[in-house]
Structure 1
Amino acid sequence: MSIVLVVNSGSSSFKYQLLDMASESVLAAGLVERIGESEGRAEHAAGGEKTEITRPIPDHTAGFRVMLDAFAEHGPSLDEHAPVAVGHRVVHGGARFFEATVIDDLVEINIEDLSVLAPLHNPGAIQGIRAARAAFAGIPHVAVFDTAFHQSMLPEAYTYAIDREVAARHRIRRYGFHGTSHKYVSEAAAAFVGRPLAELRQIVFHLGNGASVTAIDGGRSVDTSMGFTPLEGLVMGTRSGDLDPAILLQLMRRADMTAGDLDALLNKRSGLLGLAGRSDMRDLQAARADGDADATLALAVYAHRLRAYAGAFMAQLGGVDVISFTAGVGENVAAVRAEALATLGFAGVRVDPERNASVVRGEITRISSDDSAVTVLVVPTDEEREIARQALDVTNA
């Protein structure tokens, strides 16, 4: 009674994992993509073997049939490993959802209504939810929201200083994202250092192509870098992060840019890509080593923003006990970790260069020196496992 299927749906694809939460082990994982195109693709991995098929997949319902066929043909058997719940990643829960929630028709309507706040994400989630509820009609489906963890922020942290009536009418406030990852990492870090979560002041850097940092006090998010959308905050792979909003007005007036032009500029042609013509951190590190001036500046801007948020969140928390790095860049790029904390020696933060350079992939690793006043960790994130945990908790409640 501990098998959970986790589904992460987009508009033209979905990923899935079947987990046995008794041992928190992955029984199978797969991807169905290019949904609605002339030729779809699916891959399924189980028991150390990986299979791949290509065929038309007109919609998410057909995609779930492909997934079920893969389980039937390549295992594990869903009769022998029947899920007791299906957990769905949903990017935006607005201010309505502050915890994992069993999906019924009303919840589905609310998620769809919140598409106005996440037009690139919630519509795909809805398609996946509807297909999954049809395919697994006899078990609970649970929505786990990226925004939910940040609903503990106080009004002074989530309120923008604009006309309050305009803000209320259009639901404009800071929501925060990557909450599932921040929750998982902060709890894993507390377990690793052997201290109660409720006692710890933590800063978690989730650094991937999308990036965010969160201040966590006693297991509760008190501030985070992303805001109304996942565009605010840190410099990211292709996203700008923080900038003066008057820049947008200037570009509208002087460059005749439309809302669509600005959306594409800030989300797809900015960040590291905009600064250096590339967004992959490995390429940028190599280019900097070769003396590339654009790459050097891009990485300096990136690190400057990391340090700015680290300092701000230390002030919000009144000090920090644990700092953790996670996600693709956070887990794998030692130079980024070192540069992010390079100026925090005044607060007793000391990174051991040898430990930082010797992180074991997939394992929690302490990279702070023995005399550091703050414990610094690399903590591999596992959003699917966290979704499965929350889905099981809600189902058993």
Structure 2
Amino acid sequence: MADAQVTIKTHNQKWQETVPVAAHRDAVTLLLEKLLGYQIINSLRDIDGVGHRVPHGGEFFKDSTLVTDETFAQIERLAELAPLHNPVNALGIHVFRQLLPDAPSVAVFDTAFHQTLDEPAYIYPLPWHYYAELGIRRYGFHGTSHKYVSGVLAEKLGVPLSALRVICCHLGNGSSICAIKNGRSVNTSMGFTPQSGVMMGTRSGDIDPSILPWIAQRESKTPQQLNQLLNNESGLLGVSGVSSDYRDVEQAANTGNRQAKLALTLFAERIRATIGSYIMQMGGLDALVFTGGIGENSARARSAVCQILHVLGLAVDEVINQRKETF
């Protein structure tokens, strides 16, 4: 890749540059060189461990896991559930284990937090063998985000997470909603893949599944082309015709663009519907928390999501909402 983006952040400084990187091993080597060059570390021996975000842990991994030869092989086997991500993650783990043999690698799985879902929340109403033999079920994603944010929320409230009913809205180019009761994920909007659930930047979220064979027959699209349509051409981008970036769509809506306005309305409506169903499932709500690029930075999005939720006892303090503050 001729224009790879390299970003290194510490607590009080950030470096960014564009450099050519030929392969993943070169990227890891470059990263280690930068850590030394910027004097973030004095020696590679200063690195006590390496954390790897792995999108899919299937039903096998229920928590962060020390990488051994056995767990590494399992991550590779799970590539069939995440063919775009797990193979690349496995390659990164392999290179770090080679270059830093004395520093343990730990795999942190996006799916692990949602392994507490009960069967009614994760089983799809398909013939049973699709789950039993192929592992088709709701896995959920963004688990590291939902787990962290709900934990920080409980600390700020001074209440044990085990005593709270929380709905976490991770809103960004990829968005998911998670219902957390007594510290456990009990439902989440993303399912078998990160494509499902609420509307996102370029992803449609949930739609009538019969639309797909209808389009395939009418436009002679292959499964790969349908996947491209749902993952990269839909969502805010598809409806607005402007951009996948919420800020750009918001700006277009402010100038009177009808489709941009509709896209923002759809985005909020799908989230509200999900929140409402989760409140019913948990028997109430103690806290609603927003995170992610849109969730943290867009007062308009937060206000729109909460707009009709007054019927459930939720109200937005617009003065506080407009402040650029996080916890």
Compute the TM-score of the two structures, normalised by the length of structure 1: 0.79
Displacement after TM superposition at 1:257 (Å) = 1.1
Does the 8 Å contact 1:89/1:146 carry over to 2? yes
Displacement after TM superposition at 1:71 (Å) = 2.1
What is the CA RMSD across the aligned residues, in angstroms? 1.7
User: Take 2:225 and 2:25, find their aligned partners in 1: how far apart are those partners?
Assistant: 34
Map of 1:314-333 to 2, 5 A cutoff?
314-333=279-298
Map of 1:91-106 to 2, 5 A cutoff?
91-106=55-70
User: Take 1:346 and 1:42, find their aligned partners in 2: how far apart are those partners?
Assistant: 47
The superposition leaves residues 208-235 of structure 1 with CA deviations (integer Å, 9 ceiling, x where unpaired) of: 0000000000111000000000011010
Question: Is structure 2 residue 48 aligned with structure 1 residue 84?
Answer: yes
Q: Which has the higher contact order (CA 8 A, sep 6+)?
A: 1
Question: Is structure 2 residue 310 aligned with structure 1 residue 345?
Answer: yes
Displacement after TM superposition at 1:78 (Å) = 4.2
- What amino acid maps onto 1:174 in structure 2? R
Taking a change above 3 Å as real, the CA distance of residues 322 and 40 of structure 1, as seen in their structure-2 partners, is closer
Map of 1:1-397 to 2, 5 A cutoff?
37=1, 42-44=6-8, 48=13, 50=15, 52=17, 54-55=19-20, 57-79=21-43, 82-277=46-241, 278-360=243-325, 363-364=326-327
Does the 8 Å contact 1:235/1:272 carry over to 2? yes
- What amino acid maps onto 1:315 in structure 2? M
Taking a change above 3 Å as real, the CA distance of residues 168 and 346 of structure 1, as seen in their structure-2 partners, is same
Percent identity for Structure 1 against Structure 2: 43
Q: Who is 1:23 aligned against?
A: none
User: Take 2:16 and 2:312, find their aligned partners in 1: how far apart are those partners?
Assistant: 51
User: Take 1:313 and 1:49, find their aligned partners in 2: how far apart are those partners?
Assistant: 39
Does the 8 Å contact 1:44/1:52 carry over to 2? no
Does the 8 Å contact 2:2/2:19 carry over to 1? no
Give 1 or 2: higher helix fraction. 2
Displacement after TM superposition at 1:45 (Å) = 5.0
- What amino acid maps onto 2:113 in structure 1? F
Runs of 4 or more above 6 Å deviation = none
User: Take 1:148 and 1:337, find their aligned partners in 2: how far apart are those partners?
Assistant: 27
Taking a change above 3 Å as real, the CA distance of residues 220 and 78 of structure 1, as seen in their structure-2 partners, is farther
Displacement after TM superposition at 1:50 (Å) = 3.0
User: Take 1:202 and 1:38, find their aligned partners in 2: how far apart are those partners?
Assistant: 44
Displacement after TM superposition at 1:59 (Å) = 2.1
User: Take 1:151 and 1:51, find their aligned partners in 2: how far apart are those partners?
Assistant: 36
SS of alignment partner, residue 46 of structure 2: coil
Number of matched residues?
325
Does the 8 Å contact 1:90/1:145 carry over to 2? yes
Displacement after TM superposition at 1:291 (Å) = 1.2
User: Take 1:40 and 1:276, find their aligned partners in 2: how far apart are those partners?
Assistant: 29
Taking a change above 3 Å as real, the CA distance of residues 143 and 203 of structure 1, as seen in their structure-2 partners, is same
User: Take 1:53 and 1:244, find their aligned partners in 2: how far apart are those partners?
Assistant: 42
User: Take 2:36 and 2:42, find their aligned partners in 1: how far apart are those partners?
Assistant: 7
Displacement after TM superposition at 1:40 (Å) = 5.1
Displacement after TM superposition at 1:300 (Å) = 1.1
User: Take 1:135 and 1:120, find their aligned partners in 2: how far apart are those partners?
Assistant: 24
User: Take 1:357 and 1:169, find their aligned partners in 2: how far apart are those partners?
Assistant: 50
| Unmatched tracts of structure 1, length 5 or more | 1-36, 365-397
- What amino acid maps onto 2:266 in structure 1? V
The superposition leaves residues 243-291 of structure 1 with CA deviations (integer Å, 9 ceiling, x where unpaired) of: 0111111112222111011000000000010001111111111111111
Taking a change above 3 Å as real, the CA distance of residues 51 and 98 of structure 1, as seen in their structure-2 partners, is closer
User: Take 1:163 and 1:141, find their aligned partners in 2: how far apart are those partners?
Assistant: 39
Compute the TM-score of the two structures, normalised by the length of structure 2: 0.95
- What amino acid maps onto 1:127 in structure 2? L
The superposition leaves residues 69-106 of structure 1 with CA deviations (integer Å, 9 ceiling, x where unpaired) of: 21222212243981222111000000110101111111
